[in-house]
Amino acid sequence: MNLIGFYNYTVILTYLGAAAAVCGIFFSASGYPFWGIICLLFAGLTDMFDGKVASTMKRTEAEKAFGIQIDSLCDLISFGVLPLAIGYGIGLDGGFFYASAAVYLLCAIIRLAYFNVDEAQRQKSETGRRKTYYGLPVTTSALIFPLIFGLESLLGGAMPVIYQIALYGVAAAFIIKFKLPKPNKKGIPALVIIGLAIFVLVIVSGLK
């Protein structure tokens, strides 16, 4: 039986991240935002390395194009929808939250669609991996929102408000055009260390 799509090991991490994000959405909507945050961190970890895995295989142009599309679609779930579900899980509700959620999601969609177009054009004229991002990558949500959640003991009752304000700030950063260097071989370990530190912070916060 023929299936639509391309099936090889290069997409496994991407799919695992999306599956974790779906679980995180259900956890958060059910009143367990802590587990939603854990799923968000896991999705961020898988996204950090899925490109590295994909580069180990020689792919056709169609497979490369599929990889760009599937990565962005999964990113929309992991870093677009899941942070909003976490916001709902920590108690955000009402018109102001709905507005911030709509703005955040729309900006994430616009950024991901623009990235797809830009990356397809770049690959026609350049070889290798890109060195610069324009605007804030949506994947940074995997560090920003868990950090806010992990600081709950310091922020107290202000944490939900700060989380909601951050939705607006991060949304704006998605679509404001500024250059941001893509992490290189030295930068990736630093991001992993930061992610682990935030993970520990979240765990400690969850145990209190």
pLDDT of residue 28: 97
Question: pLDDT at residue 98 above 90?
Answer: yes
Contact predicate 144/198, CB 8 Å: no
Instruction: Read off the pLDDT band of 127 (50, 70, 90).
Output: low
pLDDT of residue 20: 97
Q: What is the pLDDT of residues 41-95, one digit of tens each?
A: 999 999 988 877 877 878 888 888 888 899 999 999 999 999 999 999 999 999 9
pLDDT of residue 62: 86
The one-character DSSP state at 23 is: H
Domain boundaries, the chain: 9-207
> What architecture does CATH give domain 9-207?
Up-down Bundle (1.20)
Q: Among 171, 138, 27, which Cα is nearest to 86's? A: 27
DSSP code string of 57-112: S---HHHHHHHHHHHHHHHIIIIIIHHHHHHHHTT--SHHHHHHHHHHHHHHHHHH
pLDDT of residue 115: 87
Distance CA 50, CA 46 (A): 6
